[in-house]
Amino acid sequence: MVVEMTVVTERKTRVMLGMSGGVDSSAAAALLLEQGYEVIGVTLKLWPQDCVSRAEDKCCGPQAVMDARAVAHSLSIPYYLVDEAAEFQQHVIQYFADEYKAGRTPNPCVMCNEKLKFGRLLTRADQLGAQYVATGHFARTALCAQTGRTLLKRGLDGRKDQSYFLFSLRQEQLARAMFPLGEKTKSDTREVARHCGLKTADKEESMEICFVPDNDYGGFLKKAGLVQPHRGEIVDVHGRKLGEHEGIEFYTVGQRKGLGISSAKPLYVVELDAANNRVVVGDEAQLERDTFIVERCNWIPFAQPPAAIEASVKIRYNHAGTPALITPHPDGDGTAQVRLHESQRAIAPGQACVFYQDDLVVGGGWIRR
């Protein structure tokens, strides 16, 4: 008698990996394969046509796509280029311009993560049957056994930690997020890429916003036709006119250089008054603040925050963090008061303020005027 045996092969968990063409996402692909996942590489084509020539080697440029495709081929994983330029224009670039017009300092990387990398990319993952979306961010997630909520934590490499840019991700996004580099250092990451013979192993990384590769925000806004120069007054904190400007969009809180006015002592931008088209300047002491409001808060370890939270807060990405008392509004309107234990300089409306307790990201919000 011949007995037929049916062999059941367990299907691997499918992960969609966002590939930017850099060493981080390349190493993430290799690590996921090593861990036994089925990996699909995807690059989101984000660049507007008027931006291509200025971003050849950034994550929104053609060279980056070529590098990502080459890495996928080297690792023998499927690769797709998906056009999300219209979404990027709406949710990132237009937001970027609108915030500057309103006298606020935008953070486009946070919006790109929320709306595209863990927004549109999750939709694409569903279409391709992928359970998770992975990126090359230096951050970690963990499941809280008591609440069942997905926690967000700093990456192990404190110098490269990118959890700040992920604070606005909701539970449904975090639950499907994977960060293979969370337990790695930057040098570990390059070593992984070298070991696998990936062409991006020694690729230089960029610290600028991908669609503003020369770091000239005002120039980008003008060249893209998003902002037109419009004359207004530069005034001191008492309202006295000191000079004129060509648009509040070309200034940021804390700026000292390029004001075009003379003074016996150094002057800094302390406020951008969009309603009156004014740039307000003052001395360095007038940049100091110890209390402000954040809005559109996202709380990660809990659905409803406690009445008061002691945490370390970062008022911008490259800020070291400072102790503060955070008091969420009792009406649950998404706002909270942040009272710093020590005043900080140049707290800019529009920037993200992220709350930490050791490595745990408690949440964060957007600094209000």
Active site residues: 112, 210
Q: Answer for the pair 233, 244: CB distance below 8 angstroms, yes or no.
A: yes
Distance of CA 306 to CAs 27, 132, 163, 310, 329, Å?
Answer: 39, 31, 22, 10, 10
The bridge status of strand 132-134 relative to strand 177-178 is parallel
Strands of the sheet containing 241-245, edge to edge, are: 241-245, 232-236, 278-282, 268-273
Q: Are the C-beta atoms of 161 and 182 separated by less than 8 Å?
A: no
Classified as helix, coil or strand, 44 is strand
* Buried/exposed code over 333-345 (b: 16+ C-beta within 10 A; e: otherwise): eebbebebeeebe
Indicate left, alpha or beta for 235 from its phi (over 0: left) and psi (-120 to 50: alpha).
beta
**CA 217/CA 209 separation, integer angstroms:** 9
Cα–Cα–Cα angle for 296, 300, 302, nearest 5°? 105
Distance CA 328, CA 302 (A): 13
Six-digit token pair at 241? 């006119």
Contacts of 182 (CB under 8 A, 6+ apart): 137, 138, 139, 140, 141, 153, 155, 156
How far CA 149 is from CA of 132, 212, 300, 302, 324, in Å, comes to 16, 36, 8, 8, 25
- What's the CA gap between 113 and 18, in Å, rounded? 11
Structure letter (DSSP) for residue 90: I
| Tokens coding 229 | 């120069």
